[in-house]
Amino acid sequence: MQLRRPAPIAARPLAEAELPQPEPGPGELLLRLTACGICRTDLQLVEGDLKARRLPVIPGHQAVGVVAAVGPGVDGWRPGDRAGVAWLAGACGACRYCRSGRENLCESATFTGWDRDGGYAEFMTVRADFALRLPGQFGDLDAAPLLCGGVIGYRSLRVSGIQPGGRLGLFGFGASATLAIQVARHWGCEVYVVTRSKAEQERALRLGARWAGGYDDAVPVPLDAAVTFAPAGEVVVRALAAMDRGGTVAINAIHLDRVPEFPYELLWWERTVRSVANFTRQDAREFLEIAASIPIRTEYDLYPLSAANEALEALSAGNVHGAAVLDIAGSLGRDA
């Protein structure tokens, strides 16, 4: 499913395309894909909120598959191995950010589905050193949502500075938040969820939230930290207003609309606002290890590859229960 020109999702901008099977270059793997998660970033790329870096392009950065071929110079991978692909597709490894363990900030970083073709396809290539090994207890469909929403949600928790037992706010409760809450509860945090949807409020309570309410409801306690998932600047201000002294709001968004003017008193007492930019491979490895130990439970709606437009439209309308996943292999089922 290829994007040739960004357009509103109602215009069905993704088109089916028959393309030659890619060949793995030096240091690359060729994957035969079985599943790919749908992400709000995909929607923003398809609709043009994020400026395209190449066109045409195949979106998708939560891909799961098996190694079909190994390119020259690859060690540690062989055909038949199971692998995952995430948003970070490559980094230079030599700049000051990469050398200090902050490859997520690398100015030469490349991204799956943005700089190189992604997982809305039957085959894709990936740099072998950026492919991820997946815990065996997760089936392919269950693993796909972990590779973006799960990993970036985990980094957002770290950026927020939340400590075990602390009071955490989650503002917005889509796919990433449903995974982050499970990590936070594993750490013994009290979690307070703010979301418009009554169904999402109920889901949050089922997943262990201490309280769940809407954006017009006052959070009943001052928060030590918060993560905002909704791509709206006004939500950041609402989260900041719920912070205790010294608290941090981590913004989990690659695209955010205008942050409205707010009084300095909301920042006073050393409150902090931080953005969350991508993630590192170490974040992904740590999260997948934690996800397996909990173990994290994923919820998703299934779509065939040919229905990628419909899946993105459902995401845009808020009609996705947990996450949306493309069943590329067809009829995988929970035990795949």
Report how far Cα 234 is from the mean position of its chain's Cα atoms: 21
123-129 average pLDDT score: 98
209-234 average pLDDT score: 96
pLDDT higher than threshold 50 for residue 336: no
- pTM for the full model? 0.92
Average pLDDT over the chain reads 95
Residues 18 and 1: their CA atoms lie apart, in Å, by 9
CA atoms within 13 A on the CB side of 93: 5
Pick from 327, 286, 322: which is nearest to 307 by CA? 327
Q: What is the pLDDT of residues 69-85, one digit of tens each?
A: 999 999 999 999 999 99
Contact in structure between 12 and 50 (CB atoms under 8 Å): no
pLDDT higher than threshold 60 for residue 332: no
Would you state the pLDDT for residue 119?
A: 97
Would you state the pLDDT for residue 175?
A: 87
- Read off the pLDDT band of 223 (50, 70, 90): very high
Q: What is the pLDDT of residues 187-196, one digit of tens each?
A: 999 999 999 9
Least confident of 22-36, 90-104, 283-297, 311-325: 311-325
42-51 average pLDDT score: 94
Report how far Cα 189 is from the mean position of its chain's Cα atoms: 21
